Amino acid sequence: MSSWLQKRCYSCSPKLGETKKIYLDATKAREVLGWQPLVSLKEGLESTVTYFETKETSATRSRP
Q: What is the CA radius of gyration of the chain?
A: 16
* Whole-structure pTM value: 0.47
Average pLDDT over residues 15-43: 88
Task: Provide the percentage of residues in the chain whose pLDDT is more than 90.
Answer: 38
| 61 confidence band (pLDDT: 50, 70, 90) | low
pLDDT reported for residue 1? 47
**What pLDDT, on the 0 to 100 scale, is given for residue 10?**
55
Q: Which helix (H) or strand (E) holds 41?
A: helix 41-62
Q: Where are the domains of the chain?
A: 21-64
